[in-house]
Structure 1
Amino acid sequence: MAGNPGREDAFTGLEVVILIIVLLVIAGGFFLFMTSGETPGWARTFPGGMVADSVYVSGDHMQPVGSVVGFPAVSRINNKPLFLVPRGDPKRLGAIQVMVSLFIGHTGAIDMDQVHVSWTGDGFSEQIPKTNILPLVCPNWTITGKYNMLPGHVADADNWMEPDEEFEILVCSSRGVRPYESFTVTLRPEGTAMPLPLARTAPARIEPVMKLG
């Protein structure tokens, strides 16, 4: 007796629907388990381990918070931030200020004293040393503020940037950047954390304070 093709197609379609529902239930349950805060070691292996470990490791990566602010390559003594430019040029952008924090996750910490900073531009590159002395003498970089300190933490106790903390840093170059010129300030922590490149372009008009995006 010949089979019923229509009935076989309907049964196959029902199997597909059931399979999709089962996979969605399993995926939802696994997601809730992974985000419960009690993930054992075996749960970080295939199939969920690659995602879980990448999120865990990314806890000690840096990200910018808010906009990068630029300043002309001239000394600022009577207003913040404080820095000195030995060979000033009001027609160039000479310094930036940015707030940074840890990336997603609540793990890890970055020793800001061990962060290496570089400034590169149009055929120009220099390493920017760190200093704790204000006013800042260019080229140098420094920490100008620490925010969101947890209760019981002392802001000046150390320069380790931990989860939920935000560090404001000031970086100034020896050369400066002409209008329309692109440049990149890169923060390179030691260890496994990824570098944080801040690529920006100087605006057409150099002003006392410039929002660089």
Structure 2
Amino acid sequence: MFTDRSEAGRLLADRVAERLAELRRSDPALSDPVVYALPRGGVPVAVEVARRLHAPLDLVLVRKIGAPGYPEVAMGAVVDGVDRQTILNEDVFAATGGDAAGLSRARSRELAEIERRRIRYLGDRPQISPAGRVAVIVDDGLATGATAKAALSAVKRQGARLAVLAVPVAPADSIADMLRYADEMIVLQTPRDFWAIGPFYRDFHQLSDDETVQLLREAWARRDETATGDV
């Protein structure tokens, strides 16, 4: 059990650094990673990964599309960007009675929330292109995998040289499916008996917007100070 997301991030960061070092030995071009957090829960984890890699930190703005009547169940996800993309879990969509009109309405709602988060979290800070780089997608864990799949698809479409998914915990039976989207998957714990992410953390409180913004601002300030030689 992890104490909190920050501890999980530090442990995950070591594993990610080791794996990227191995990959660079066979392909020196894999030397320019950028870390993308899935907000909100992925931000404290990604902060630690970015710090360990001495890499820039950014966000992939993705939202789960909940199933009709079961909002906690992901029937898909939508990811923002120039080419907005929807990943649909066809089995869940069919099993929960989804239809095209309902999907369209849900997609519009989630895109509106993505836009709100963009303004709140990023302001006028330009986002970092993954083109030609190692894109490390980080979250606090993997449940259905819908948002991670959408994020991985997005960075690949934007030209990432390598798309890596890094999470502290994921169900063992999800790995093969996720490797259809990720070039590499780095996970600390892969339990067979898995029902939710929360039980693997002592502190798994829902982050507020204010907490998320503070974590991002502090990480960006440290990065900017290092780049200018002020630390």
Classify the TM-score, shorter chain.
under 0.3
TM-score, normalising length: structure 2 = 0.26
Structure showing greater Rg: 1
The structure that is strand-richer by fraction is 1
The structure that is helix-richer by fraction is 2
